[in-house]
Structure 1
Amino acid sequence: MENKQAIKILTDIIALDTTNDHESQIADYLTDLFKDYPVKIDRVTYAPGRDNLVITLGESGPMLGFSGHEDVVDAGDLANWQTPPFTPTIKAGKLYGRGASDMKSGLAAMVVSMLDLLNSGKKLPGRLRLLASVGEEIGEFGAAQLVKAGYADELAGLVIGEPSNFNIRVTHKGIIDYYVTSKGIGVHASTPELGRNAIMPLVKFAQEAQTLMASHTEKDPVLGGLTHVISQIQGGNQINSVPDQAWLSGNIRTTPLYPNQQIMTELEQIISELNAQGAQLAIRYSYPEVPLPSQADTKLAKLAQRVVRKSLGRGGELVAGTGATDASEYIQASNNFPIIILGPAAGVSDHQPNEFIAIDDYLAGCKLYQDLAWQFWQENLKV
């Protein structure tokens, strides 16, 4: 494919505002790109206007998966953008726009590589499946839906196109986002003995949770330690009233040494003990994601390292990440296959105004994914 056409595919999908919603616009666009090719196209609806897309090419042989999410984060204050976030703009060899780095460039490069494979005229020795998911930025629920529907069951390996600067991310932390609500009895502040202050049990919870999480001092040799942040707290209605309601939220980044279930059990134990003392607390979680165990020793990670270095002459380091990805869902598939994160963007502008990717890096990614697919098939066909 000519560079101009490859760039157009990326700019076209950046121009689609899929901010935590409306991902079907990308599913529509990609479906149209592949409609005249011998591929299998499945649309998996999560909600109205929110379609995951699965495109499978090849007839037999080992199946490699390409994973990319269709959504982007909110653009924030538009005054901080030098150009409109959904008007892709090329300046000084860089393409600017929301999602240029995270991760429409990775998704587009995978799509270009698949189209090039289809147009190569060669018989493909294996299969390739694109898993384009919804809702990654707010909970990976699209990937969870695809796993539950069985779309990962035949994979022999999976490449997630999140920004990695052409290094191979082989592990990352998990996430627990939690919310604790507190109920009290509201009365006039001049007679507090007649009410129950909803804020005070939350203060106790925050102190005990922070102390307990800080006691988990053992560090993963690659990912480092568990982290915990009380990120929001709010309660009450006015200054001269005892608050009858309050809530707080927290964010925990977990490692394999302290699994999600252990940490959630510990939080719930604090809740139980405070409620036994008279509090009325409840906890809920927002799409907790488990850590990705190290993939450094897998054949896929080592193969990707060789291909990156041979194709590009740079990158290829095996690295860790702190942010979760759709890998947290795909590792829960029934089939135990290796997963790596490998993308063309550097990731330095993710979730920020004036997000960008270097055009040369994007085009290099288009070629890299194609090279990786060929090498993956050859390696997995060896007896």
Structure 2
Amino acid sequence: MTPQAKIAILQHLIQIPSVNDHESQVADYIAGLFAPYPQAEIKKVTYADGRDNLVVTIGHEGPQLGLSGHMDVVAAGDESAWTHAPFAGEVVGDQLFGRGASDMKSGLAAIVITMLEFLEQGTQLPGSIRLLATVGEETGEYGAAQLTDEGYADHLAGLVIAEPSGLDNVVYTARGVIDYKVVSTGKGVHSAQPENGINAIDNLMKFYNAVGPLMAKHTQTDPVLGSLLHNVDLISGGEQINSIPAHAELMANMRTIPAYPNQVIYDELAGLIAQLNAEDGAQLDLSYSFPEEAIPGDPQAPLVQLAKQISDQVCGHDTQVVGSGGANDGAEFLRAKADFTSIEIGPGSNTSHQIDEYVSVKEYLQAIDFYEALVPAFLQQVQEPESITE
């Protein structure tokens, strides 16, 4: 496949506005690229109307390596603020612009093209590759959760997620995330008669004032990821200035570390809610939005070190083995029955989720070379680990 053809595939992906939805259009396009190859097993796994995950498997008997990328992108915001239209895929010099150019349609395109080139060239792989293209990563990783629950990761020997780490970084560990909401229900009355009502804001603030010190007790730090983070980011309540509020709520975001599994946090928050609800007039309700566990990882794992070695060779730089402050689909896939290492490495820039998001064309093309070298090397390593030298 020519470089121009590879760039055109990425441009086409960017031109599909899969903003927190409509991933089926992306899945249909990618499935169409594999359709000429009868040896490719193509499955669409429907999450909701217009939202299909895509699983494509190629190769032979032996170990299986997963290559994963999500098909959704975040909103472009004020499109008039963009210098380059967000859904055009415009190339200027070495930069290809568009929403998802970095996060993460360049990584998705690179792993798709890697598989297509193996098919085109008739490459005899010592195992198989499974593409896991997911929906809903940006809003909860529920596509990866669905694929995991339905067994599509149960036979993986390793997983590479093409998130935009940059090819000079192999991410082997990542923070988890807990988004939670607390709703306080009170009784609204005229503010001249507060004794006849229940102030929902007052009760919510009791939680707010207590939860910070409670989370601050988690003083253990991770040498790579740092400490547990807890931030209350949204608060709302009340109806008007002369009414005792009957409703108030807050939402908080936590970034967890392996030392504190999510269940520890759930238990503590539930305990605090129960304690406050024991007070007269308090009614606090706690809910969660798609929480994810932290990924512990091992920097010396064979897949981690192999990815570093190959990236060094392909790209000519000293690849770093690092952690990530953000969650990724690997947190869901690691719930599968198989025991495997998940890493994150892919093309991208520091413009993800920003105006004029872009990816370096050179790095995008290098990523394809990297994956094409990594896949057979890893499959061979799993089959014959003693043949792999440092």
The TM-score normalised by the length of structure 1 is 0.98
**Rounded Cα–Cα distance in structure 1 between residues aligned with 2:312 and 2:18:** 34
Q: Which residue of 1 aligns with 2:313?
A: 310
1:14 is the counterpart of 2:14: yes
**How far 1:216 moved relative to its partner?**
1.2
1:332 is the counterpart of 2:335: yes
Q: Which residue of 2 aligns with 1:143?
A: 144
Where do 1:229-240 residues align within 5 Å? 229-240=231-242
**Rounded Cα–Cα distance in structure 2 between residues aligned with 1:132 and 1:232:** 32
Where do 1:86-235 residues align within 5 Å? 86-166=87-167, 167-235=169-237
Deviations along 1:84-133, whole A, 9 cap, x unmatched? 21111111210010000000000000011111111113322210000000
Q: Which amino acid aligns with 2:28?
A: D
Contact 1:295-1:339 at 8 Å conserved across structures:
no
1:64 is the counterpart of 2:69: no
Q: Which amino acid aligns with 1:61?
A: G
Q: Which amino acid aligns with 1:102?
A: D
**How far 1:310 moved relative to its partner?**
1.2
**How far 1:60 moved relative to its partner?**
1.0
After the TM superposition, list the runs of 4 or more consecutive aligned residues in structure 1 that deviate by more than 4 angstroms.
none
The TM-score normalised by the length of structure 2 is 0.96
**Rounded Cα–Cα distance in structure 2 between residues aligned with 1:82 and 1:350:** 15
Q: Which residue of 2 aligns with 1:299?
A: 302
- Number of residue pairs aligned between Structure 1 and Structure 2: 382
Deviations along 1:208-245, whole A, 9 cap, x unmatched? 11111112111111110001100100011100100001
Q: SS of the residue aligned with 1:261?
A: helix
**Rounded Cα–Cα distance in structure 1 between residues aligned with 2:379 and 2:31:** 25
Percent identity of equivalent pairs: 48
Contact 1:295-1:340 at 8 Å conserved across structures:
no
1:5 is the counterpart of 2:5: yes
Q: Which residue of 2 aligns with 1:32?
A: 32
Q: Which amino acid aligns with 1:42?
A: K
- Unpaired stretches in structure 2, ≥5 consecutive residues: 386-390
1:250 is the counterpart of 2:255: no
Contact 2:297-2:341 at 8 Å conserved across structures:
no
User: Of the candidates 336, 342, 357, which is equivalent to residue 345 of structure 2?
Assistant: 342
Q: Which moved more, 1:314-323 or 1:181-190?
A: 314-323
**How far 1:315 moved relative to its partner?**
4.4
User: Of the candidates 331, 355, 358, which is equivalent to residue 356 of structure 1?
Assistant: 358
Deviations along 1:118-167, whole A, 9 cap, x unmatched? 11133222100000000000100000000011000111000000011111
Contact 1:26-1:70 at 8 Å conserved across structures:
yes
**Rounded Cα–Cα distance in structure 1 between residues aligned with 2:141 and 2:2:** 33
Across the aligned residues of Structure 1 and Structure 2, the Cα RMSD in angstroms comes to 0.9
Q: Which amino acid aligns with 1:130?
A: L
1:289 is the counterpart of 2:292: yes
**Rounded Cα–Cα distance in structure 1 between residues aligned with 2:181 and 2:123:** 53
Q: Which residue of 2 aligns with 1:46?
A: 47
Where do 1:73-84 residues align within 5 Å? 73-84=74-85
Q: Which residue of 2 aligns with 1:23?
A: 23
**How far 1:374 moved relative to its partner?**
1.4
Q: SS of the residue aligned with 2:68?
A: strand
Contact 2:155-2:337 at 8 Å conserved across structures:
no
**Rounded Cα–Cα distance in structure 2 between residues aligned with 1:59 and 1:89:** 38
**How far 1:328 moved relative to its partner?**
0.8
Q: Which amino acid aligns with 2:358?
A: F
Q: SS of the residue aligned with 2:332?
A: helix
Q: SS of the residue aligned with 1:377?
A: helix
**How far 1:297 moved relative to its partner?**
2.0
**Rounded Cα–Cα distance in structure 1 between residues aligned with 2:188 and 2:123:** 73
Change (3 A) 1:25 1:315: farther
Contact 1:139-1:286 at 8 Å conserved across structures:
yes
Contact 1:169-1:319 at 8 Å conserved across structures:
yes
**Rounded Cα–Cα distance in structure 1 between residues aligned with 2:213 and 2:263:** 18
Q: SS of the residue aligned with 2:252?
A: strand
